[in-house]
């Protein structure tokens, strides 16, 4: 899912009827006001169960990564193959998909902004690496936000239904213009960029360490990344 689609989805949540939002809030208040229940049995402890599952998945991931070579040469084809293998491993283990992780992260950032749409969009576009297509659309996204607020006569918030409709319509046009409506393409770009950035950081660290070793009177060591077969452990 692209940021544009996620923005529309997040905005739709904020446009829920006031009665539904009030009902949800009252339910939360009721939970806080309710008397303390008896401690749950160990198997019923959701937090403990979730933590245990996460630990098991992490251990399985680390074990599986030992069988996948890390392409420190920085070759794009090798990185794509590595990314595909790791994503397949994560799916097999049951680790949340990168799309779900991004959606959850955006929901969290939107909440942290106090549901300030301008702040949320600006920070999300600044911080997210979603490939060349998304980078080219950034200016138009902010322009669409300006136009929606101007046409609706106010800031975008949960009560500005007209503004959200205008913005959602404009975002759909931008997605189509830049090919972002192709969610598969956007997803592939995002995953590749994520892995490439990670591998480049590791590559820099390895080269720095090897060059440092050479300066410590170990001149026989010559950096040769193509000969390394590192594994994440």
Instruction: For residue range 168-187, list pLDDT tens digits in order.
Output: 888 888 888 877 777 777 78
Is residue 52 predicted with pLDDT exceeding 90?
A: no
Q: Burial of 59 by CB count in 10 Å (0-12 exposed, 13-18 middle, 19+ buried)?
A: exposed
Is residue 202 predicted with pLDDT exceeding 70?
A: yes
Is residue 78 predicted with pLDDT exceeding 90?
A: yes
Nearest to 60 by CA among 96, 92, 97: 92
Please answer whether residues 233 and 65 qualify as being in contact, where contact means their C-beta atoms are separated by less than 8 angstroms.
yes
Is residue 162 predicted with pLDDT exceeding 70?
A: yes
Place 222 in a pLDDT band, splitting at 50, 70 and 90.
Answer: low
Place 118 in a pLDDT band, splitting at 50, 70 and 90.
Answer: confident
How crowded is the C-beta side of 166, counted as CA atoms within 13 Å? 19
Nearest to 4 by CA among 112, 109, 130: 130
Tell which wins on pLDDT, 133 or 187: 187
- Alpha-carbon distance 125 to 4, whole Å? 10
Is residue 207 predicted with pLDDT exceeding 60?
A: yes
Q: Which of these ranges, 89-103, 118-132, 143-157, 199-213, has the smallest mean pLDDT?
A: 118-132
Is residue 84 predicted with pLDDT exceeding 50?
A: yes
- Alpha-carbon distance 110 to 156, whole Å? 13
Outline where DSSP puts E strands in the chain.
Answer: none
Q: And the tokens for 161?
A: 């239904």
Q: Burial of 72 by CB count in 10 Å (0-12 exposed, 13-18 middle, 19+ buried)?
A: buried
Q: Nearest 5°: phi and psi at 65?
A: -65, -20
> How many Cβ atoms are within 10 Å of 182's Cβ, its own excluded?
15
Is residue 85 predicted with pLDDT exceeding 90?
A: yes
Mean per-residue pLDDT, 160-172: 85
């Amino acid at each position: 899912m692209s940021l544009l689609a996620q923005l529309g989805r997040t905005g739709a949540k904020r446009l829920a009827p006031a009665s539904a939002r009030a009902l949800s809030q009252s339910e939360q208040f009721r939970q806080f006001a309710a008397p303390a229940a008896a401690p749950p049995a160990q198997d019923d402890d959701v937090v403990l169960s979730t933590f245990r599952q996460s630990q098991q998945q992490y251990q399985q991931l680390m074990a599986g990564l030992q069988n996948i070579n890390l392409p420190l040469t920085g070759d794009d084809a090798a990185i794509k193959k590595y990314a595909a293998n790791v994503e397949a491993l994560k799916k097999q283990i049951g680790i949340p998909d990168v799309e779900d992780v991004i959606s959850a992260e955006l929901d969290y950032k939107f909440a942290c902004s106090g549901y300030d749409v301008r702040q949320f969009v600006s920070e999300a576009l600044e911080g997210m690496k979603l490939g060349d297509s998304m980078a080219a659309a950034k200016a138009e996204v902010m322009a669409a936000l300006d136009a929606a607020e101007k046409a609706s006569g106010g800031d975008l918030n949960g009560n500005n239904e007209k503004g959200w409709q205008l913005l959602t319509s404009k975002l759909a046009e931008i997605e189509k213009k830049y090919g972002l409506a192709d969610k598969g393409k956007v997803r592939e770009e995002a995953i590749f960029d994520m892995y490439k950035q990670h591998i480049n950081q590791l590559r820099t660290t390895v080269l720095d360490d090897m060059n440092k070793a050479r300066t410590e009177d170990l001149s026989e060591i010559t950096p040769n990344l193509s000969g390394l077969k590192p594994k994440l452990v």
